[in-house]
Each structure stands twice: as C-alpha cells, then as structure tokens.
C-alpha cells in the first residue's frame, strides 16, 4: 500500500507541475496577445484556462481520495494538504493570465498597452513566466534555497510595478483615463500572478523546514498598488 | 472519539465564522477610513488583519491535526478539506480589506475617492460586508438556497463595479490619473472581496449537494474590470 501511496503522491506532484507549465505558457501567450493585439492568441489563452481548472478539480479529488484511502499522517499528510493549497494558487494564476488575455481581446485591434510601456509589460510577463517555471521546479526539487530565491526574484516584479505607476502618474501621461485603467489592472494581474508563484515556493519551504518562509527570508516590500 | 471529533469539527466551524465576522468588520471600517479619510480607523484595520491571519494558521493546524488523529472519510473528510479552502478565502478577504485601508492611509488627509463616487463606494463596502456576513451564516446553516442567493447578490457588486467604470471613462472625469488609478484598484478590491464570499458559499453548496454551484445556478457575469 505504501508504494501505491507514494505513486499516487508523485502523480499529484506531476499534476501540479503540469499546472505550473500550463499557466506559465498562458501568461507568456497572454502577454503576446496584449502587446501584439493578437486576438487569436488571446482566445486560445481564454479557452485553455478550462484545462487548468479541470486539472485542479482532478487533483483535489485525488488528494481527497488519497487521504481517505491511505490516511497519511505527519509529513505525508502535510504534503497532501499543501498540494491542495498549491493547486489553488496555480488555478488562480491561470485566471489571472485569462484576465490579461480578456483585456487584450477587449481592446482588439488596438493594444491595451501604449508603446512606451511595452518593454515594462514585456518584462513583467517574462518574469511572471520565469517565476511560475521556478515554482514548478521547486515543487519537484524541494530545494529550499531555490524556493527562497523566488521571493527575491519577485522583488523585481515590485520594481516593475513601481515603474508602471511612475509612468501612470507622470504629468506627461498622454494616453488618457481608459488606458490608465487598463494599465493599472494589467499591472495588478502580473503582480498577483507573481505572488501566487511565490506562495507556492513558500509552501515548499514550509513543507521542508516546518517554518514559514517569512521567518527565514524577509518578505518582499508590499507593491505600490496596495497603497503601502 | 466521534464526539471529540465532532466537537473539534464544530470548533473549526466556529473559527471560520469568527474569521467571517472579523473580515466583515474590517471591510466596513476600511470603507469608513477610505471615505472619511480617517487615519486611525485605517491603522486599526491594517493592524487587525494579523488576528485574521493568526486564526487561519490556527485553523489550518487544527484541521491537519484532526485529519491525523481522527482520519475522517467521506463527507467528514470533505468538510475538513473544504474548511481549509474557506479559511484561505476569508484570509484573503482580510488582505483586501487591509489594501483598502492602506490606500486610505496613503492618501490621508485627502480621501482617495472623489465625492461624486462616495455613494457607489459606500454601497460596495456595505454589500461586501453583507456578503461575507451571509457567507458566515451559511457556513453554519449549510442552507443551499441561502448559499446560492449569495451569488445572485454578487451581481449587484458587478453592477456597482460597472457604475464605477462608467464614471472613470466619462469624458467629464475631472479627477485626474492618480485618482483614476486609486478608484480602479479600490473597485477591484471590493469586487474580489465579494468573489471570495461567493466562493465560500459555493463550497457550502458543494459540500451539501456534491455538485459545484455553477452547475446549479448560473455564475454572475464577469466584471468589467476583467475585460469581459
């Protein structure tokens, strides 16, 4: 039974990694759709999110079945419960990629993002994609240093978010209110996407060390958008 | 043992209800802080969120201990797992109330919200508070009709969110970019707060019926802010 148990546990881990892969691809393509005003890519991201939701429901059911059949205790139990939490983070990340794609669709054939912000948004998109890829890796490796590194990488997202706000609040902003609203929301979506990747990494740290990541590494500064 | 088990399960339910009460109070006070530019109230909301986080950590540990000691199966198991999910929704709701309060603090002694939007924001705040209060009630009552009603009530939040956007995108908007950014984020915070209350209610529906709420009642329309 223990073998069957560990096989099942591994397959839940594989499901999480697959979710991380899918949402990483989704945020990358959503960024393309947003900057290139590519309607087809936007539609594909919106449609693909259903798959992420499916995997999450499946993982939840399998985790519950595992708890019922194998009744794990101690660390094994914590791993299963933590997997449920990670799947929720990744599912939400998929929603955020979908929001970016929906905004691209809403503004088509225009880009919702003005030219002079493309490089900042592109970097936010690429960073978000890297963060969730790293999160997928630490789910497998359980490497605490790599997991903590993710939080440091997220500081860059906060910097980019501040850069976005500096543009928005610059007297020379000439793109009007609607674009300011779009850019505000897009910035928020990328920042939250990154937060969920960091959250996944923190749960790995907690699993391995029994300590919450914040007790080990200082948390990244709160983003401007939260009025901090 | 079963009695000890059900006592423990009830106490987890009580913890969830206490969380709902605290975050309901928080969003109400955060709204006051925002509209009245009341720094003391803002600070009290920001400080109080730590208590919500504490309760959530405590609930998580107790739920895991319960799984380990009692090894529940079937519905009992699903109740414990669902409680973990609900506590995450409520913890996040507390964060969103804190974000509103931080924005109030950031703009003090001004109000971040222009006069002509006070009534809309006030209604969003009151609705958010009612929704989480109802969510707390259905956690106890397990009343599916009340739980489904919550989703219908959330439609009003989407309407209010649209009203906010109509003001923002009106050519006569005279409050500038910074205020537009603030109002965009505030609207998003209230809308997400309501989403989490609806999510709690949906989990009750799932617990009782074994079906996802969306399969029973149509989901509320996606908010404007998500570009839908």
Structure tokens of A103? 């905004």
Q: Compute the distance between CA of residue A184 and CA of residue A113 in angstroms, rounded to an integer.
A: 10
Kindly report the nearest CA distance between residue B33 and chain A, in angstroms: 13
What's the confidence (pLDDT) of residue A31? Answer: 98
Nearest CA in chain B to A72: B68
What letters, b where the CB count within 10 A reaches 16 and e where it falls short, cover A118-132?
eebbbbbbebbbbbb
Largest interatomic CA distance in chain B = 67
Q: Which of A19-33, A65-79, B163-177 has the lowest mean pLDDT?
A: A65-79
Q: What CA dihedral angle connects A24, A204, A199 and A210, to 10 degrees?
A: 180
Place B203 in a pLDDT band, splitting at 50, 70 and 90: very high
Chain B neighbors of A165, CB-CB under 8 A: 181
Provide CB contacts within 8 A for A65, sequence distance 6+.
Answer: none
- Token pair 């939250």 is found at A192
Residue of A60, A78, A180 lying closest to B181 (CB–CB): A180
Q: Where are the alpha helices (DSSP H) in B71-143?
A: 74-107, 115-141
pLDDT tens-digit series, residues B30-68: 999 999 999 999 999 999 999 999 999 999 999 999 999
Contact B181 A184 (CB under 8 A): yes
| pLDDT in the model for residue A212 | 73
CA distance linking residue A43 with residue A89, whole number of Å: 23
Tell me what the mean pLDDT of segment B102-113 comes to: 98
Instruction: State chain B's mean pLDDT as an integer.
Output: 92
Quote the CA–CA distance of A112 and A38 in Å, as a whole number.
11
CA A66/CA A58 separation, integer angstroms: 12
A228·B106 Cβ contact <8 A:
yes
Nearest to A227 among B85, B106, B184 (CB): B106
Residue A228's pLDDT is 35
**CB contact residues (below 8 A), chain B span 166-205, against chain A:** 168-169, 173, 177-178, 180-181, 184-185, 188
Contact present, B11 and B62 (Cβ < 8 Å): yes
The Cβ-side half-sphere exposure at B40, using a 13 Å CA radius, reads 0
> Candidates 3.40.50.300, 1.20.58.220, 3.40.190.10, 2.60.120.1440; correct CATH number of B1-215?
1.20.58.220
Instruction: Give A137-169 pLDDT, tens digit per residue.
Output: 999 999 999 999 999 999 999 999 999 999 999
Distance CA B114, CA B140 (A): 39
DSSP 8-class letter at A111: -
Q: pLDDT, tens digit, for every residue of A23-40?
A: 999 999 999 999 999 999
A140 to chain B, minimum CA–CA distance in Å?
22
**CA nearest B73: which of A7, A63, A64?**
A64
Whether the pLDDT of residue B227 is over 50: the answer is: no
Average pLDDT, stretch B135-147? 96
Among the partner-chain residues B68, B74, B105, the one whose CB lies closest to the CB of A227 is: B105
What is the model's pTM?
Answer: 0.92
Long-range contacts of B153-159 (CB under 8 A, 24+ apart): B153/B127, B154/B194, B154/B195, B154/B197, B154/B198, B154/B220, B155/B220, B155/B221, B156/B127, B157/B124, B157/B127, B157/B128, B157/B131, B157/B190, B157/B191, B157/B194, B157/B223, B158/B191, B158/B220, B158/B221, B158/B222, B158/B223, B158/B224
Contacts of B222 in chain A (CB under 8 A): 102
The confidence score (pLDDT) of residue B214 equals 67
Q: What is the DSSP letter of A226?
A: G
What are the helix (H) ranges across chain B? 2-36, 39-70, 74-107, 115-141, 144-169, 176-209, 213-216
Alpha-carbon distance of B25 to A219, in angstroms, equals: 27
ipTM of the complex: 0.90
Domain definitions of chain A by residue range: 1-215
- Which is it for the CA torsion B135, B137, B140, B141, positive or negative? negative
Does B105 reach chain A within 8 Å, measured CB to CB?
yes
């Amino acid at each position: 039974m223990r073998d069957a148990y560990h096989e099942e546990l591994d397959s839940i881990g594989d499901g999480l990694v697959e979710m991380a892969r899918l949402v990483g691809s989704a945020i990358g393509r959503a960024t393309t759709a947003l900057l290139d005003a590519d309607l087809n890519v936007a539609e594909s991201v919106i449609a693909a999110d259903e798959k992420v939701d499916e995997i999450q429901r499946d993982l939840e059911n399998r985790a519950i079945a595992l708890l019922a059949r194998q009744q794990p205790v101690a660390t094994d139990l914590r791993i299963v419960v933590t997997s449920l939490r990670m799947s929720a983070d990744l599912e939400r990340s998929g929603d955020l990629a979908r929001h970016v794609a929906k905004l691209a669709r809403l503004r088509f054939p225009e880009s919702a993002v003005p030219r002079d912000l493309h490089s900042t948004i592109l970097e936010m998109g690429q960073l978000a994609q890297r963060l969730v890829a790293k999160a997928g890796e630490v789910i497998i490796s359980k490497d605490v240093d790599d997991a903590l590194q993710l939080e440091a990488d997220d500081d860059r997202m906060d910097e980019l978010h501040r850069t976005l706000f500096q543009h928005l609040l610059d007297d020379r902003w000439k793109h009007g209110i609607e674009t300011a609203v779009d850019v505000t929301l897009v910035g928020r979506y990328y920042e939250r996407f990154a937060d969920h990747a960091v959250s996944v990494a923190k749960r790995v740290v907690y699993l391995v060390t029994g300590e919450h990541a914040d007790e080990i590494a200082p948390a990244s500064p709160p983003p401007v958008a939260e009025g901090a």
